[in-house]
């Protein structure tokens, strides 16, 4: 099994719909991250969590919310999806300054 598992791998949704992306990790790390990647661009941080009781906004949190259900689970929600949220979404975990382990990503298309 992968260290970081993201579901679904692909999703097409309609504008205005609520959608949740899920992430689970088996690394035992406290820190988890959600990133967004757009074509030709680097990764941008949406939200991050240092432990179950600690949630922090990243660079582009508007339009997104998260829930840290357990040490191993960190979900990302789009309350009302819009087309410019079409992107590749990555979950990551890490316990140090940068050696993150990433999931395989969720490709989200909002039509």
Binding residues (CB under 8 A) for another protein: these are 4, 31, 40-45, 48, 58, 90, 92, 94, 96-105
Q: Which CB sits closer to another protein, 19 or 47?
A: 47
Those residues whose C-beta lies under 8 Å from the C-beta of residue 62, and which sit 6 or more positions away, are none
Q: Which CB sits closer to another protein, 48 or 72?
A: 48
Q: How far is CA 45 from the centre of its chain?
A: 9
Closest approach of Cβ 16 to another protein, in Å? Answer: 29
Closest approach of Cβ 96 to another protein, in Å? Answer: 7
Residues 25, 32: Cα–Cα separation, whole Å = 9
Closest approach of Cβ 110 to another protein, in Å? Answer: 20
Residues 46, 66: Cα–Cα separation, whole Å = 9
| Parallel, antiparallel or unpaired: strands 10-13 and 106-110 | parallel
Q: Which CB sits closer to another protein, 2 or 111?
A: 2
């Amino acid at each position: 099994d992968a260290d970081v598992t993201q579901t679904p791998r692909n999703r097409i949704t309609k504008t205005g719909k609520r959608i949740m992306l899920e992430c689970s990790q088996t690394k035992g790390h406290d820190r988890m991250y959600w990133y967004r990647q757009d074509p030709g661009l680097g990764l941008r941080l949406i939200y991050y969590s240092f432990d179950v009781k600690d949630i922090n906004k990243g660079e582009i949190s508007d339009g997104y919310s998260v829930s840290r259900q357990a040490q191993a689970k960190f979900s990302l929600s789009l309350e009302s999806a819009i087309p410019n949220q079409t992107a590749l979404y990555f979950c990551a975990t890490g316990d140090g300054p940068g050696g993150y382990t990433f999931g395989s990503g969720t490709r989200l298309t909002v039509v």
